[in-house]
Structure 1
Amino acid sequence: MVVLLVIVITSAALILGAVWGSFLKIPKRVEGFIVALAGGALIVSVMDELIRPALNDLHLLGVIGAVLGGAGVFSALDAWVGERFGERGGLGLMLAVTLDGVPENLALGSALIGTGALGVAALAGSIFLSNLPEAAGGARKMIGQGRSKTAALGLWTGVAVLLSLSALAGYYALETAPEWLIAAIRCLAAGAVLASLATEVFPNAFRDDAQWTGIAVAVGLCLALALSQLGG
């Protein structure tokens, strides 16, 4: 039950974000600050919850190879989305968020295997924070391009369901898998998340909130560090 609650909360951020983008007006600088804060938190949680634990079951070279492989696959797919949709309207942004969210939620689900919710609180919290403004921006762009608010909310709800299924797959499908395989999948997902930070999260945060981006990243990192101690 706790696992399902964590997954539902993180994915529900996409729906809340879509409502935010459809009906509320929040300054871009606030959105940028939240995105940067979430990115800082993800740096800590990816390392502490996904990469370092994998060293118990994989050789260092295996961990490095999986992380680089995940980053490479994400970067290639992200480049394809960028070329296909150019400046990324609402639909393109939704695809980019989906591409980003699948490895994040797969990692979240696999990280919950053998640990409690508090053990991955930093990872879950940072995913929640990053989903909110991304969905808000995507819904806002969709409406600006002529889609109705109902259609925008429906599309982002579909993304939330897909990412929830990714997290459930990461938990239930891998529950009886060998430890080395779980470790490898976590590292692949970690590499994809790190690549998304470099290509999507931090550039967007700096564009919207340049003056405070560095502070926000540091705050997010410290928050994730504090949350990680709760499960320690």
Structure 2
Amino acid sequence: MTIIVVLVVSFALILGAVWGIYGNLSDKLEGFLVALAGGALIVSAIIELIDPATKEASLALALAFVFAGASVFVFLDYLVKKKWGANGGGGLLAAITLDGIPENLALGVALIGAGPMQVAALAGSIFLSNLPEAAGGAKGMVENGRSTKSVLILWAGTAFILALAAILGNYFLADVSNDILSYIRCFAGGAVVASLATEVFPKAFKKDDYFAGLATALGLILAFLLNSLKK
């Protein structure tokens, strides 16, 4: 089951990058899909990362790690934009990588003993959020002057790193205390929240105007439905 989810994580990023580079992805559709992913990420950040962690570990420390995750993301996002430009797609790549590594470490542990419905829900949530973000990010990088080959290699490398994080989490963090895993999840949750505010929703609104609000609600609804499969 771990292999199934790892393949979904990797395939979603690579497929999204290919779609963004070679597909007919209009600005409005891109904005709609990015907002859809943002809605799904709201559910992921709160229900799957932050809320469970605050119940299993010290509330003060858990919330401190949320703030730490947001702070690190904002700092790295600032550096990425200085290097690649505000519209280069690098911010979305940073968002996926920074929140994805701790999230996938925790995901690998969560898959231990998980049933088929839980795996389907986790895989669906990841696919729903990663596919449009990768498409928008890859498209932005190409439009900013990077070669298609270098963009594909960059996103394929990101897919490999996140897949590796899930595998390492599954094999090496199984015996780690719930407190440590909770702090990892909170750090990821903080990065997700910051990425939504600085990258995802501003980009979605710029591309698709007010329909981005409807797309966000739709993504949230779909993620809630997927999350309900785990119960």
Secondary structure in 2 matching 1:55 = helix
Letter in 1 for 2:50: I
Q: Which residue of 2 aligns with 1:181?
A: 180
Could you list the per-position Cα deviations for residues 97-155 of structure 1 after superposition, in whole angstroms to 9, with x for gaps in the alignment?
43343344334334434544633655543432332233323433444456554443233
Q: Which residue of 2 aligns with 1:106?
A: 105
Q: Which residue of 2 aligns with 1:44?
A: 43
Q: Which residue of 1 aligns with 2:52?
A: 53
Q: Which residue of 2 aligns with 1:133?
A: 132
CA-CA distance at 1:205 after TM superposition? 0.9
Q: Please list every run of 5 or more consecutive structure 1 residues that lacks an aligned counterpart in the other structure.
A: none
Could you list the per-position Cα deviations for residues 159-181 of structure 1 after superposition, in whole angstroms to 9, with x for gaps in the alignment?
21112112223332211101111
Alpha-carbon distance in 1 for matches of 2:155, 2:145: 16
Letter in 2 for 1:192: A
Q: Which residue of 2 aligns with 1:228?
A: 227
| 1:122/1:200 CA distance change after superposition, 3 Å | farther
Alpha-carbon distance in 2 for matches of 1:60, 1:146: 45
CA-CA distance at 1:208 after TM superposition? 0.9
Alpha-carbon distance in 1 for matches of 2:45, 2:95: 20
CA-CA distance at 1:10 after TM superposition? 1.9
CA-CA distance at 1:93 after TM superposition? 5.6
Confirm or deny: 8 A CA contact 2:100 2:188 kept in the other structure: no
Secondary structure in 2 matching 1:13 = helix
Q: Which residue of 2 aligns with 1:204?
A: 203
Give the TM-score normalised by structure 2: 0.86
Aligned counterparts, 1:116-127, within 5 A:
116=115, 118-119=117-118, 124-127=123-126
Confirm or deny: 8 A CA contact 2:6 2:166 kept in the other structure: yes
The root-mean-square deviation of aligned C-alpha atoms, in Å, is 2.5
| 1:147/1:68 CA distance change after superposition, 3 Å | closer
Alpha-carbon distance in 2 for matches of 1:93, 1:40: 15
CA-CA distance at 1:15 after TM superposition? 0.9
Q: Please list every run of 5 or more consecutive structure 2 residues that lacks an aligned counterpart in the other structure.
A: none
Equivalences, count = 231
| 1:104/1:183 CA distance change after superposition, 3 Å | closer
Q: Which residue of 2 aligns with 1:16?
A: 15
Letter in 1 for 2:203: N
Q: Which residue of 2 aligns with 1:70?
A: 69
Give the TM-score normalised by structure 1: 0.86
Confirm or deny: 8 A CA contact 1:103 1:193 kept in the other structure: no
Query: Where do 4+ consecutive residues of structure 1 move more than 6 Å?
Result: none
Could you list the per-position Cα deviations for residues 166-224 of structure 1 after superposition, in whole angstroms to 9, with x for gaps in the alignment?
22233322111011111111111111111111111111111111121111111111111
Alpha-carbon distance in 2 for matches of 1:38, 1:92: 15
CA-CA distance at 1:80 after TM superposition? 1.9
